[in-house]
Amino acid sequence: MRGRCLYISVILGVFTFSLAEEQLVDKDIAKARVEVKQFIKEDAPLFHNVQVKYIGGAVPELLLLNNSDQEVERIGLSNLSREECNQLLLKKGFYKKTTDDEEVPEEYLNGPYKEREEL
Ligand SMILES: *[C@@H]1O[C@H](CO)[C@@H](O)[C@H](O)[C@H]1NC(C)=O
Ligand SMILES: *[C@@H]1O[C@H](CO)[C@@H](O)[C@H](O)[C@H]1NC(C)=O
């Protein structure tokens, strides 16, 4: 009888441990989201021809549209850091202003935006 009690308590111990591990993973994912939120709130508005649209409950995604507003490419941002989100848009050829009222250079005013090899 005592042997059986011990067995159960060991199982409980293992179970608690794996729960704790799962919470750690959850925490990591939440952090990545916060960074995307900062990107969306603070960085995305500085990019020319990038529009931020809030859709309640939706995962953050980057939609690349053609001149007729049709979707050409869709990239999930959930797992990217704030820095990676910035790099992604720059790599896609978009122009980031340093201040709200900075003038956009002629060549970036309108698309098509071409992928850049290096930044
Ligand atoms: C982009 O726009 C054109 C019209 O200018 C349309 O015919 C075409 O299907 C669109 N491309 C994509 C990939 O949606
Ligand atoms: C983010 O990462 C998780 C776990 O690594 C994965 O299951 C999920 O599909 C990823 N999401 C995107 C949008 O790439």
The per-residue pLDDT for 7 is 45
Which residue ranges make up each domain of the chain? 2-108
Cα separation, 31 vs 28, whole angstroms: 5
Atom of ligand 2 nearest to the CA of 61: 13
| Ligand closest to CA 80 | 2
Q: Is 16 in the pocket of ligand 2 (CB under 6 A)?
A: no
Atom of ligand 1 nearest to the CA of 66: 1
DSSP output for 26-47: HHHHHHHHHHHHHIIIIIGGGB
Ranges under pLDDT 50 in the chain: 1-23, 28-29
- CATH number at 2-108: 3.40.30.50
Q: Is 79 in the pocket of ligand 2 (CB under 6 A)?
A: yes
Q: Pick the residue whose CA is nearest to atom 7 on ligand 1.
A: 68
